[in-house]
């Protein structure tokens, strides 16, 4: 199976994690990862523009062919939910405009794909990301580790994935954009 480059995104307005991973169906290799941050007191449109342009730059620099984005889970604060939803939307827009294959995964699907347990805690997921990508330490902040986990979930969900060094396949479903 040919190597595929996947961009994983953990959406957020203050911090949006990204992780770029190569997968050949057996092994996973980290390419780049980090966190895009926007200042709290900046107007929302400017923050969204910053996120959009930064995601475009990650795509331009690393040239993934697929993007996987974590779906939103229930938020008690509707204002936060709307803001995160808008940030998620600009990330999806950047990926679709770049012609990337797009998939979405729930937090439970990501945890299942990475750790084998859909209710794993953050520490367990971070440790499995470290192990699966052979990183010297757990990626920080959490948003970065979560983005790498989303990319891993997509790698595991792709047809042709085997149980080699990358671990067991996940249960994520691809969705049409």
**Residue 83 confidence class, pLDDT cut points 50, 70, 90:** confident
What is the domain extent for residue 14? 4-157
Count of the separate structural domains present in the chain: 1
pLDDT of residue 170: 36
42: domain CATH number? 3.30.420.10
The predicted structure's pLDDT at residue 78: 76
Q: Which single residue is written with the structure tokens 């049409």? A: 176
Give, in order, the Cα–Cα distances in Å from 176 to each of 85, 95, 104, 138, 173.
18, 13, 9, 32, 10
pLDDT at 28 over 80: yes
User: Is position 82 within any domain?
Assistant: yes
Would residue 121 show up in a list of annotated catalytic residues for this protein? no
- The single residue of 101, 104, 143, 146 carrying the catalytic annotation is 143
The model's pLDDT over 157-168, given as tens digits with 9 standing for 90+, comes to 976 655 433 333
Kindly report the number of other CB atoms within 10 A of residue 27's CB atom.
Answer: 16
Q: Does residue 152 sit within a domain?
A: yes
10, 101, 104, 142: which one is catalytic? 10
Write down the pLDDT at residue 92.
97
Residue 89 lies in a domain: yes
Instruction: Give the mean pLDDT of 42-47.
Output: 96
Residue 162 belongs to a domain: no
Residue 95 lies in a domain: yes
127: annotated active-site residue: no
Residue 130 maps to a domain? yes
What confidence tier does 118 reach under pLDDT thresholds 50, 70, 90? Answer: confident
Catalytic residue among 70, 104, 142, 146: 70
In a domain, 144, yes or no: yes
The interaxial angle of helices 44-62 and 78-97, nearest 10 deg, is 40
Position 166 in a domain: no
Residue 87 has pLDDT above 60, yes or no: yes
Q: Is pLDDT of 107 > 60?
A: yes
- pTM score of the predicted model: 0.88
10 is catalytic: yes
Residue 140: the pLDDT is 92
Indicate whether 97 pLDDT > 50. yes
């Amino acid at each position: 199976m040919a190597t595929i480059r996947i961009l994983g995104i953990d959406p957020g307005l203050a911090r949006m994690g990204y992780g770029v991973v190569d997968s050949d169906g057996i092994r996973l290799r980290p390419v780049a990862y980090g966190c895009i941050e926007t200042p709290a007191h900046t107007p929302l449109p400017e923050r969204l523009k910053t996120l959009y342009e930064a995601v475009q730059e990650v795509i331009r620099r690393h040239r993934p062919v697929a993007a996987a984005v974590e779906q939103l889970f229930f938020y008690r604060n509707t204002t936060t939910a709307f803001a995160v939803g808008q940030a998620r939307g600009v990330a999806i827009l950047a990926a679709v405009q770049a012609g990337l294959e797009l998939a979405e995964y729930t937090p439970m699907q990501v945890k299942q794909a990475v750790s084998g347990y859909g209710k794993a805690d953050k520490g367990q997921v971070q440790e499995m990301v470290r192990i699966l990508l052979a990183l010297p330490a757990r990626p920080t902040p959490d948003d970065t580790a979560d983005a790498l986990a989303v990319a891993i979930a997509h790698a595991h969900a792709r047809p042709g994935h085997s149980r080699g060094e990358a671990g067991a396949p996940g249960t994520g479903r691809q969705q049409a954009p």
